[in-house]
Amino acid sequence: MPPPAPPTELVPSERIVVLLSCVLSALGSGLLVATHALWPDLRSRARRLLLFLSLADLLSATSYFYGVLQDFEGPSWDCVLQGALSTFANTSSFFWTVAIALYLYLSIVRTVRGPGASRLFWAFHIVSWGVPLAITMAAVALKKIGYDASDVSVGWCWINLEAEDYVLWMLLTGKLWEMLAYVTLPLLYLLVRKHISRAHEALSEYRPTISETHQLQGHSSVADKKLVLIPLIFICLRVWSTVRFVLTLCGSPAVQMPVLVVLHGIGNTFQGGANCIMFALCTRAVRTRLLQACCCCCCRSQPPAPETQEGPPTASAPNKAGKSQGPRWAPDQPLST
C-alpha cells in the first residue's frame, strides 16, 4: 500500500464553500423536521422515514461543520469525537436513504400494509441506527478513528491512516455501504418506476376521455422524474468521495486537486439540502404550506396603516336604495374566483 500523501490544506475559499454547504444542509434538514412537526396531516409513513434521515443528515452536517472549521492538523480528542459523530451520522444516512427506497418498493410493488409495515419500520430502526452505532463504537474502541491528513476527507477526521488495516475500516465505516447504495438505489427506484408505468398504462385503458388520460400521464411524468432524480442526486453528490478514496488507495497526487476537494466537501455535506429541495420545495403540498406560512408571517410583521389627520374613515352614506356606496369587494377577497 503506498504511503499517505502530505496533509491537504484547505484554502479560505474552499473552506467557505464547504462551510456554506454544511449550513444549507443543516437548514434543509431542520426545515424537513419542522414540516413534520407542524403539519400532522403530512405525516405519511414515507415522510416518517424522511424525518429520521433528516435527523441523521442534521447531525452529519453539524459534525462536518466543526471539522471543516477546525481543519485538524493532527490527532486530538475533539478530532476523535468529531470523527465518531460524522461516521455514525453519515453511515446512518446511507441506511435511511436505502430504507426509504426499500419501503417505497415494498409498499408500491409488493403492497406491504398494516402489521407488516409496522414490523418493517422496527427493522429499519434496528438496522439504520444499530449497525452504524455498533461499527462506530468498535472503531473508537479499537482506536481506528483519528487524523487522516484530509486525503479521504475535507478537513474533518475519519479513519486514522496510520492504522495497518485502515482500508478495511474505511470500507466498514462508510465506503462499503456507499458503494452498495450506488447499486441498490437505482435498482429499487427503477423497479418502482416500471411498476408505476405499467399500472398507469393498464388504468389508461379504462379512461373514457382523452383529457383524463392526459391528466393521468401528467401526474405520472412528475412522479417518474422524481423517482429518477432521487438516486441520480445521491450518486452525483457521493461519487466524489469515492473517487478520492480510490485515488488514495492508488497513491495518486490527484487526490489533492482543489476541484475534487471542493466537490467532495459539497457532496458529503449537502445531502440534507438536496433532500429538502426534493421532498419539501419540489413537493406541492409542502411548498403550499410553506408559502402560506411565509405570507402569514409577512402580514403579521407589517405595521398597521397610519391614520390621516382628518381622523379615522367613516362609513359611506347610504343612497336612496339604502345601500352603501363603498366598494363592492372586500380587500381580503380576490377580484375573481
Q: Which residues face 159 on adjacent strands?
A: 145
- The fold for domain 12-293 equals Rhopdopsin 7-helix transmembrane proteins (1.20.1070)
Which segments of the chain does DSSP mark as H helices, in order?
Answer: 12-38, 45-70, 77-108, 115-125, 131-141, 166-170, 176-204, 210-250, 258-269, 271-276, 284-301
- Ranges of residues in the chain with a pLDDT under 70 are 1-10, 112-116, 149-151, 200-228, 300-337
Do 79 and 102 contact (CB within 8 A), yes or no?
no
pLDDT digits (tens, 9 = 90+) for 173-212: 989 999 999 999 999 988 888 887 777 666 655 555 444 4
Nearest 5°: phi and psi at 73? -115, 5
The pTM of this model reads 0.78
Which grid cell is 111? Answer: 403492497
Give the amino acid at 235.
I
Note the pLDDT tens digit of each residue in 213-246: 444 444 444 545 666 678 888 999 999 999 988 9
* 243 exposure class (CB count in 10 Å sphere: 0-12, 13-18, 19+): middle
Candidates 255, 253, 87; CA nearest to 178 is 87
